[in-house]
Amino acid sequence: MNVFKFDSEEAWVEGVATFWRDRLCNNPRLRMCLPSGHTPNKIFAAMGEAVKARQLSFREAEIFCLDEFGGLAPDDPGKCANMLKHYLLSHIDLPERQFHWLDIDAPDLTKVCLEYDNAIEPGFDLTLLGLGLNGHLGMNEPGTTADSPTRRVDLAPGTTASSAKYLTHSKLPTWGLAVGLKQLLGSKEVWLLVNGSAKAEIVRRTVKSSIGEDVPATLLREHRNSFLMADADAAAEI
Give the residue numbers marked as catalytic.
67, 134, 136, 141
Q: Are strands 151-154 and 67-69 parallel, antiparallel or unpaired?
A: unpaired
- d(CA 220, CA 228) in angstroms, rounded, equals 9
Q: Give the CA count within 13 Å in the CB-facing half-sphere of 37.
A: 23
The phi-psi region of residue 131 (left if phi > 0; otherwise alpha if psi is between -120 and 50; otherwise beta) is: beta
Residues 6+ apart with CB under 8 A from 207: 1, 3, 221, 228, 238
Give the number of other CB atoms < 10 A from CB of residue 196: 13
